[in-house]
Chains A and B, each alone.
Chain A
Amino acid sequence: MDFLHFISANRQQVVELTFEHITLAGVSTLIAALVGIPLGIVITRIPSLSKPVLGSANVIQTIPSLALFGFLIPAPWIGERASRLAILALALYGLLPLIRNTYAGIRGVDPGIVEAGRAMGLTDRQLLFQVELPLASGVIVAGVRIAVVLSIGLATIAAAIGAGGLGEFIFRGLAMVNNQVILAGAVPAALLALGADFLLGLLERRLNSLRLKSS
């Protein structure tokens, strides 16, 4: 376990890069959620938009990450700082799971319950915030979970454009042909992903128990 020695010898830097990594993944997922969840809601209200929106998010997903970083470099303001660019690219990848799960979650709410709400005189807004979103929240959090794990994984590649994060160790290790250095980046990144997955999984289960109460 030589990489543990490497980690303890470079503790300071490991902590720094881990924080950078969390920032990259966290901020990008936050942006993806702020765009993706409302977009997911909009396409349940305007069904004709659902295909083009989901289709575009799908296409973004298929662009290789290194290529996407490259495409974004010429963008004004964004391209000036590597971290901005990385966050934007990661946010774009996070869009698909968030849009898709928000859409599926709301569409999956028992139509009888929605109609009961409408018949009781709830406005569209009350129906959305008091009935549809709470009942869809488990599915939406499942989307956040996918987006976070995806983003933590992809953020390692952001080091290739100088955005920092644990990918620094991985690329450095690759260049030095030194497995210890690679592991010093890869293992903490994997642990981050597992930890985030576990925590969001707990939340998801709690929220789903609400919905299952309907049966």
Chain B
Amino acid sequence: MIEFDRVFFRLNGRPLLENLSLSVSHGETLVLLGRSGSGKTTTLKLINGLLTPNEGEVRVSGRSTEQWNPIRLRRSIGYVIQDGGLFPHFTVERNIALVPSIEGWDRQRIQARVREVLSIVGLNVELGSRYPSELSGGQRQRVGVARALAADPPILILDEAFSALDPITRSEMQKEFRALQERVRKAVVFVTHDLREALLLADRIALMEQGRLVVNLPVQEFSRSEHPLVRAYREAFAGPQEAR
């Protein structure tokens, strides 16, 4: 579904990604784990063509992102960002309906789909007429996920999607997202700096550091890995976990 083939990306001569190769298949959740500036968000933007590689190739559904029409590419990828990234001047309904409506779906199909995705993310259909400012943070984040799912894209990418939520809502969202992924089976790339979130959601974890991929392992092997950076992560997250 998504393949990075020896990708280099530089911004004003500064290398942000070096020799990145990885792949995500249909129904798989890859978590990109790393600290700020490690290149996680850059990696996501290379998938939906907001950036293009200086060297190497990013392929989505078998085709290089540079050969895709960028508009078509992006509409086949659901994108969720922190706090939902909702349009403040649109109601919840219009936010969710945006891609289906610019794709020319008819009104009835759009309405049915809006109701469907609202219930998939566990929201009451009546929230559809509200504005984003009238929702709680958790509700906004759910709407963000619903909007990404609206046109039923085969790929979902999420950038620190749950990081702005309070711990309880966050943990709820994580569990629900896992259950959701069991049902919808998309190719998912999830960016986070939180090891616990990564362990909960991932099929594979790709750990990044300074624009390089350090390890890329299935989640069970990752938790056993003796790589020094993986151990450093485990130690950093061990404290608060024991305290709970």
Contact = CB atoms under 8 A, between A and B. Distances in A.
Interface stretch (A6-14, A120-128, A150-158): A120-128
Interface string B2-43: 000000000000000000000000000000000000000000
A112 B85 contact: yes
Contact of B102 (A112, A126, A211): A126
Interface centre among B48, B77, B81, B85 (most CB of A within 10 A): B85
- For the complex, would chain B's binding face be called helix, strand, loop or mixed by DSSP majority? helix
A79 interface: no
B50 A210 contact: no
Given A119-B48, A213-B132, A135 B98 contact: no
A118 B72 CA distance: 12
Contacts of A80: none
Contacts of B85: 112-113, 115-116
Contacts of A131: 87
A134 interface: yes
Contacts of A134: 89
A119 B75 contact: no
Contacts of B99: 120-121
Contact of A116 (B72, B73, B81): B81
Contact of B72 (A120, A121, A130, A214): A121
Nearest to B45: A119
Given A134-B89, A135-B89, A211-B89, A121 B71 contact: yes
A197 B132 CA distance: 31
Contacts of A173: none
A115 to B, nearest CB: 7
B127 to A, nearest CB: 15
A114 to B, nearest CB: 10
Interface in A125-164: 126, 130-131, 134-135
A210 B132 CA distance: 11
Contact of A119 (B79, B87, B102): B79
B133 A116 contact: no
Interface in B34-87: 48, 50, 70-75, 77, 79, 81, 85-87
Given A112-B81, A126-B102, A213-B133, A121 B74 contact: yes
B131 interface: yes
Nearest to A115: B50
B131 A213 contact: yes
B241 to A, nearest CB: 31
A122 B89 contact: no
B62 to A, nearest CB: 19
Interface of A: 112-113, 115-123, 126, 130-131, 134-135, 210-215
Given A117-B87, A122-B102, 10 more contacts: A112-B85, A119-B48, A120-B99, A131-B87, A134-B89, A135-B89, A210-B88, A212-B88, A213-B134, A214-B88
Interface of B: 48, 50, 70-75, 77, 79, 81, 85-89, 98-99, 102, 131-134, 147
Q: Which 8 A-B pairs have the closest CB atoms?
A: A214-B88, A116-B85, A121-B74, A121-B75, A213-B133, A210-B89, A119-B79, A213-B88
15 contacts: A112-B85, A113-B85, A113-B88, A115-B85, A116-B85, A117-B87, A120-B79, A121-B102, A122-B71, A122-B98, A135-B88, A135-B89, A213-B88, A213-B89, A214-B88
